[in-house]
Amino acid sequence: MISKLLIANRGEISCRIMRTAREMGVATVAVYSDADAKALHTRSADEAVHIGPSPAAESYLVGAKIIAAAKETGADAIHPGYGFLSENADFAQAVLDAGLIWVGPKPESIRAMGLKDAAKTLMMEAGVPVTPGYLGEDQSVGRLKAEADTIGYPVLIKAVAGGGGKGMRKVLAAADFEVDLQSCRREAKASFGNDEVLLEKWITCPRHIEVQVFGDTHGNVVHLFERDCSLQRRHQKVIEEAPAPGMDEATRAGICAAAVRAAKAVDYEGAGTIEFIADSSEGLRADRIFFMEMNTRLQVEHPVTEEITGVDLVEWQLRVASGEPIPLKQEELSINGHAIEARLYAEDPAKGFLPSTGRLDRYALPDTEYRVDSGVEEHSVISPFYDPMIAKIIVHEDNRNDAISAMLDALEGTAVWPVKSNAGFLYRASNSDAFKSGEFTTGFIGDQGESLIPSGEPDEEVLGQGARHLIEEYSNDSYHSRANEHLEGFRLNAQPRRSLLVQADGKDTEVSNVPYFGGHTYSSSATPGSALVTKNGESFVVRLPRYEGGAASAADGAILAPMPGKVIAVDVTEGDTVSSGQRLMVLEAMKMEHALTAPFDGTVTQLAASEGGQVQVEAVLCVVKPEEMDET
């Protein structure tokens, strides 16, 4: 058995592998870049080795540094995780040449599945059904256009070396083909250094079904059933589940047998995934499911397979890499219940899903029984250098309906602040009738459109629950005389005699009752006198208004940071007289400069920002006291 394992990855991936290694008594070595010096995976390993600057191209993607770290620490094996170098055949070979154990498939298997056209040819020879299309060597525009016309529109152009949705174009009509082909080739060349393409018939009601396979060095190959990964945004998976909704036993047997044939065709060892596209126009049928590609690594969504089979796939990887046979035979594997995984990302759905970076001042999940695979914790920093995943939330229940309910409960109380997250988006997707029916395609998110985008506005329930929390936490506090004045007449168990003034989203609101809706409320570490309320996955800060002597409310002249960033210029000092619209300071965030200006004529009474300082979202940077009006 492997004695010391270096994990050539970071974040959630590294932490996941580390957990199993620790349970097996295998020592672990983490590698980290400058940005990850204090990351959870760095601190969790038995040893950690610095491998370079923050950009992945200068650290996590430099195979020589990783192998050197393994040698330095005495590790006898390297696990690549998923992403980064996990499907790099040259790196796998270099690990083996260095006398180390490679926890993954043989380099020749990776190469065999690395190019989509060659892989499809190999699959056809193995009797695996493939999507009708063109795989020829003649890449001339004329030949490709003629083949597309024969296949019939719509047709899909795919880069042979593509992945992650790059180098793909759906062509609706013959007149669009040449323009779309040129665009696809440019993107493929820039992304993969290879502009060759293949053509496939566009499936009008596509479902993305994939099968988990596992092979060992003794010639054994098994499958661990299928997953449905149809909920995708721009070809990136969002929610995955196992088993696939609507999959009957005959169709399952057919697709899983095809997956095993595919793995055997490349003499596969370790964990891998055979991905299929299903034409679901008449339901799931074995004769309408076609091979797309093989992922020669562990997948991000592997937990749903683990949940329904009771198998630890990472443990299997380590055992097989150590020369042991697969622990279970095919007939010993079965499906138990239903599992769903949702990918929680640091991104802002309201702004086109732009990544959101900064420190997680609050990162809390409700206290329920479900699995969370995460590489961050409260106060961790979401870096702009890497994938913005915060966590994978995985639920497992006896049936699909119960699993959906469990996922909604989990997302309901997920609090992320001030970094934006897609929790509200995931909640809406999971709660939609189309998802609950199980009759959806890869076009689900596009079809649902704006209905999946959270409002971003706190409603009466959010404000009321925030008020309830503030009363309980601050009613005995001398926060400020004017704030206490509003608290004094408020009673939790009686009709309130007076209202409570609260502030959310920069607006002051009088709350005259305190409704309860079952959401979750947390004390907010962002600012004193505030509560973080979650509803349907959305997070809102509700606070007591701040007045002169503390920080003013926005309406009273507080200048708040609109997002996490760095103060690169301060143009005023305390006591300065300013006019409406005058620039006060400049904040740099997301590689853009944001000028913060005076809301009205007045005097700078407080200045909490300094040039070069880092600030969090909604931090009070300065306060402008308005000019006093002459009484007439």
| Domains, in order of start, for the chain | 4-103 (3.40.50.20), 104-131+205-336 (3.30.470.20), 133-201 (3.30.1490.20), 342-442 (3.30.470.20), 460-543 (no CATH), 554-626 (2.40.50.100)
CB atoms under 10 Å from CB of 611, counted, come to 12
Cα–Cα distance, 552 to 564 (Å, whole number): 20
Taking 80 as the threshold, does the pLDDT of residue 144 lie above it? yes
Using 50, 70 and 90 to split pLDDT, how confident is the model at 468?
A: confident
Q: Which residues contact 448 (CB under 8 A, 6 or more apart)?
A: 429, 432, 434
Taking 70 as the threshold, does the pLDDT of residue 630 lie above it? no
Per residue in 542-596, pLDDT (tens digit) is 887 653 333 334 446 788 887 677 899 999 999 999 988 888 998 876 555 678 8
Cα–Cα distance, 520 to 534 (Å, whole number): 5
DSSP state string for 65-102: HHHHHHHHHT--EEE--SSTTTT-HHHHHHHHHTT-EE
Per residue in 496-525, pLDDT (tens digit) is 334 567 778 777 787 776 555 666 777 665
Active site residue 400: no
CB atoms under 10 Å from CB of 512, counted, come to 14
Using 50, 70 and 90 to split pLDDT, how confident is the model at 474?
A: low
What does the DSSP 8-state code read for residue 536? T
Identify the pLDDT of residue 34: 96
Identify the pLDDT of residue 482: 38
- Stretch among 320-329, 367-376, 459-468, 547-556 having the lowest mean pLDDT: 547-556
Identify the pLDDT of residue 631: 36
Identify the pLDDT of residue 455: 84
Per residue in 76-121, pLDDT (tens digit) is 999 999 989 999 999 999 999 999 999 999 999 999 888 777 888 8
Identify the pLDDT of residue 515: 55
Identify the pLDDT of residue 509: 80
Identify the pLDDT of residue 559: 87
Name the phi and psi angles at 444, rounded to 5: -55, -50
Helix, strand and coil content of the chain, in percent to the nearest 5, comes to: 30, 30, 40
The residue whose two tokens read 């949702």 is 342
Per residue in 106-116, pLDDT (tens digit) is 999 999 888 77
Identify the pLDDT of residue 485: 41
Identify the pLDDT of residue 54: 94
Identify the pLDDT of residue 522: 74
Identify the pLDDT of residue 618: 72
CA 40-46-48 angle, 5° bins: 65
Identify the pLDDT of residue 523: 66
**Would you state the structure tokens that stand for residue 458, as one six-digit string?**
């706190």
**Would you state the structure tokens that stand for residue 91, as one six-digit string?**
């790196």
Taking 50 as the threshold, does the pLDDT of residue 457 lie above it? yes
CA 300-304-310 angle, 5° bins: 120
Are 102 and 96 contacting, i.e. CB atoms less than 8 angstroms apart?
yes
Which of 503, 510, 594, 608 minimizes the C-alpha distance to 556?
503
Cα–Cα distance, 323 to 11 (Å, whole number): 28
Are 193 and 148 contacting, i.e. CB atoms less than 8 angstroms apart?
no
Residue 268 burial by Cβ neighbours in a 10 Å radius (0-12, 13-18, 19+): buried
Active-site residue identified among 297, 362, 468, 543: 297
Are 117 and 167 contacting, i.e. CB atoms less than 8 angstroms apart?
no
Q: State how far the alpha carbon of 571 is from the alpha carbons of 509, 555, 560, 584, 611, in Å.
A: 32, 22, 16, 5, 10
Per residue in 32-43, pLDDT (tens digit) is 999 999 999 999
Q: Which residues contact 17 (CB under 8 A, 6 or more apart)?
A: 5, 7, 9, 28, 79, 81, 314
**Would you state the structure tokens that stand for residue 155, as one six-digit string?**
């047709």
Work out whether strand 27-33 and strand 4-7 pair parallel, antiparallel, or are unpaired: parallel
Identify the pLDDT of residue 8: 98
Cα–Cα distance, 422 to 367 (Å, whole number): 20
CA 324-267-100 angle, 5° bins: 50
Indicate the residue type of 159: A
Residue 586's H or E segment, with its range, is strand 583-589
Identify the pLDDT of residue 282: 87
Please state, rounded to an integer, the average pLDDT across all residues of the chain. Answer: 87
CA 587-592-598 angle, 5° bins: 35
Per residue in 485-494, pLDDT (tens digit) is 444 444 444 4
Work out whether strand 507-511 and strand 381-382 pair parallel, antiparallel, or are unpaired: unpaired
Question: What value does the mean pLDDT take over residues 6-20?
Answer: 97
| Crossing angle of helices 313-321 and 11-23, rounded to 10° | 70
Give the neighbor-by-neighbor strand order of the sheet with 166-171.
Answer: 133-134, 197-201, 155-163, 166-171
| Crossing angle of helices 89-97 and 107-114, rounded to 10° | 170
Q: State how far the alpha carbon of 110 is from the alpha carbons of 88, 106, 297, in Å.
A: 7, 7, 9
Q: What is the 3-state secondary structure (H, E, C) of 342-364?
A: EEEECEEHHHCCEECCEECCEEE
Work out whether strand 347-348 and strand 354-355 pair parallel, antiparallel, or are unpaired: antiparallel
Handedness of CA 503, 504, 510, 516 (dihedral sign): negative
Per residue in 52-69, pLDDT (tens digit) is 999 999 999 999 999 999
Per residue in 242-287, pLDDT (tens digit) is 999 999 999 999 999 999 999 999 999 999 999 999 999 888 998 8
Handedness of CA 579, 580, 586, 592 (dihedral sign): negative
Identify the pLDDT of residue 475: 53
Identify the three-state secondary structure at position 519. Answer: coil
Question: What value does the mean pLDDT take over residues 341-352?
Answer: 93
Per residue in 148-176, pLDDT (tens digit) is 999 999 999 999 887 667 788 999 999 99
Per residue in 172-191, pLDDT (tens digit) is 999 999 999 999 999 888 88
Cα–Cα distance, 58 to 34 (Å, whole number): 10
Taking 60 as the threshold, does the pLDDT of residue 629 lie above it? no
Identify the pLDDT of residue 322: 97
